[in-house]
């Protein structure tokens, strides 16, 4: 038994070494994108108020894409961190609502080159962790509505690489939709004070499209100026939940601007092999 285990471990190491040697000739640059977004926000949260609030939305985003080591031609990894803040007012403008959210997601997509020049597409999934809070500046026992979720998402993209007026451009559309997961919500008339006292029952709920519908739409144009690209785009998010007879709707539309670039980590003692092949995650 012991002998078998040692042999198995040795075999795994052997395979790993061979795999690494095979991949020595492939370089997988990391594509990093830093963007800011600004636009409009519309929020209704019936735990706080039945009135719709509207205002502005801003956000900071980091996106990292890289071809996967095990099959760089076909699979890509995407990691995202999004931080956003919204400020809204009610219809008559006498109350302020704030919303802050932090999202983290990691996922993979299978990609294909489409039979049309410059077109490619991908389909995959991701896992997300997000948390946030809506705060209504009026005091009382229900001034805030906390948000939190863990979800498994479906995602995909369609991209086109080409030239517009002689400038290399990448156009890309990517939606993300959570399919299943869990999210936090207090009961209909439950106080956060009661939760603080220890009543934690019924706070976590399984999510599906009937009670938790979220859709993130991102449309971007990367204008390639040398090694750095300018990203211009649009992002729109629909967040609509209904649980415990409480509805939360958050809709944002925002223009996006940022920079992106690809970088490769090289060993200065080894240099770059002549046979090295670069497989980009995005272009």
Interaction site with other proteins (CB under 8 A): 44, 46, 48-52, 90-95, 138-143, 187-191, 193-194, 197-199, 202, 208-210, 213, 238, 240-242, 244-245, 247, 249, 251
Provide the total of helices (H) and of strands (E) in the chain, helices listed first: 2, 13
For other proteins, which is the closer residue by CB, 62 or 213? 213
User: Three-state DSSP class for 250?
Assistant: strand
253: how many CB neighbours lie within 10 A of its CB?
15
Comparison of 140 and 268: residue with beta carbon closer to other proteins: 140
How far, in whole angstroms, is CA 121 from its chain's centroid? 17
* Structure tokens that stand for 89 in this block: 């007012």
CB of 91 to other proteins, least distance (A): 6
Look up residue 30 and give its two tokens. 């990391």
Q: How far is the CB of 100 from other proteins (least distance, A)?
A: 21
| Closer by beta carbon to other proteins, 87 or else 242 | 242
Rounded to whole angstroms, how far apart are CA atoms 183 and 59?
22
Cα 283 from Cα 280, distance rounded (Å):
6
| Nearer of residues 115 and 210 to other proteins, judged by Cβ | 210
* Least distance CB 41 / other proteins (angstroms): 15
Contact yes or no for 270/27 (Cβ under 8 A):
no
Q: How far is the CB of 24 from other proteins (least distance, A)?
A: 41
83/57 Cα distance (integer angstroms): 11
CB of 99 to other proteins, least distance (A): 16
Nearer to other proteins by Cβ, of 210 and 271: the residue is: 210
Neighbour count for residue 72 (Cβ, 10 Å): 19
């Amino acid at each position: 038994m012991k002998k078998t285990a040692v042999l198995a471990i040795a075999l795994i190491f052997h395979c790993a070494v061979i795999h690494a040697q095979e991949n020595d000739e492939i370089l997988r640059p990391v594509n990093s994108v830093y963007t800011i977004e600004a636009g409009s926000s519309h929020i209704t949260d019936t735990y706080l108020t039945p009135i719709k609030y509207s205002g502005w939305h801003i956000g900071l985003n980091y996106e990292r894409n890289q071809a996967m080591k095990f099959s760089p031609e076909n699979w890509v990894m995407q990691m995202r961190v999004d931080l956003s803040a919204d400020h809204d007012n009610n219809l008559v403008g006498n109350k302020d609502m704030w919303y802050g959210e932090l999202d983290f997601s990691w996922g993979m997509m299978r990609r294909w080159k489409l039979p049309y020049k410059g077109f490619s597409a991908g389909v995959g999934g991701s896992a997300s962790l997000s948390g946030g809070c809506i705060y209504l500046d009026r005091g009382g026992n229900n001034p805030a509505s906390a948000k939190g979720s863990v979800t498994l998402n479906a995602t995909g993209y369609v991209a086109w690489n080409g030239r517009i007026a002689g400038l290399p451009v990448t156009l890309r559309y990517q939606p993300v939709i959570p399919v299943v997961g869990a999210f936090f919500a207090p009961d209909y008339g439950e106080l956060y004070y009661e939760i603080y006292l220890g009543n934690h029952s019924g706070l976590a709920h399984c999510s599906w499209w009937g009670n938790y519908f979220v859709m993130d739409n991102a449309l971007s144009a990367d204008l390639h100026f040398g090694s750095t690209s300018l990203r211009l785009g649009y992002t729109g998010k629909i967040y609509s939940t209904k649980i415990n007879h409480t509805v939360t709707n958050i809709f944002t539309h925002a223009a996006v601007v940022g920079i992106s670039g690809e970088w490769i980590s090289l060993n200065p003692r080894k240099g770059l092999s002549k046979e090295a092949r670069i497989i980009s995650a995005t272009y």
